[in-house]
Amino acid sequence: MSKDSALIDTRTPSPPYGYSRECTHSREQQIHIVAEFHAHKIRPSRIAYRVGIDIAFIEELIAGETEQERFPRLVAYYRRQRYQQRMSDSAVRRGVARYELEQRIEREFTQEVDL
């Protein structure tokens, strides 16, 4: 192996062909999708597999290398939305089960916000 070929990285940043689907979303849509999935605690590799977004781009967003100000705001928005949805879904339960579920949802939301 020559010195020059060792410096060239021929790996692709995406999962191997056949591992993920083709991404048909615009960059703007991808940012929103990643923020929503991240708010729902879905792993980057799973996001790449399910939607076809480049895993390197997903990791850049999560690490704060790209869209440093906007991405955290979007994640916070989707976390609040998830919190409100979970609280409204808890209305199906009654009594102690409902109270305990709402307490757990509140505790998880508070922990996510503190991150």
Q: List, for residues 40-51, the tens digit of each pLDDT value.
A: 888 888 888 888
85 token code pair: 């949805």
Does any domain span residue 12?
A: no
Does any domain span residue 8?
A: no
Does any domain span residue 1?
A: no
Does any domain span residue 85?
A: yes
Quick one: how far is CA 37 from the chain centroid?
3
What predicted TM-score, i.e. pTM, was given to this entire model? 0.68
Does any domain span residue 100?
A: yes
Q: Which of 12, 25, 31, 29 is nearest to 52 (CA)?
A: 25
Could you report the per-residue pLDDT of 42-96, keeping only the tens digit for each? Answer: 888 888 888 888 888 899 999 888 888 899 999 999 999 998 888 888 888 889 9
d(CA 53, CA 19): 12
Does any domain span residue 80?
A: yes
d(CA 79, CA 35): 9
Does any domain span residue 55?
A: yes
Does any domain span residue 82?
A: yes
Residue 67: which domain range? 17-114
Structural domain count, the chain: 1
Check if the beta carbon of residue 13 is closer than 8 Å to that of residue 56: yes
d(CA 101, CA 83): 12
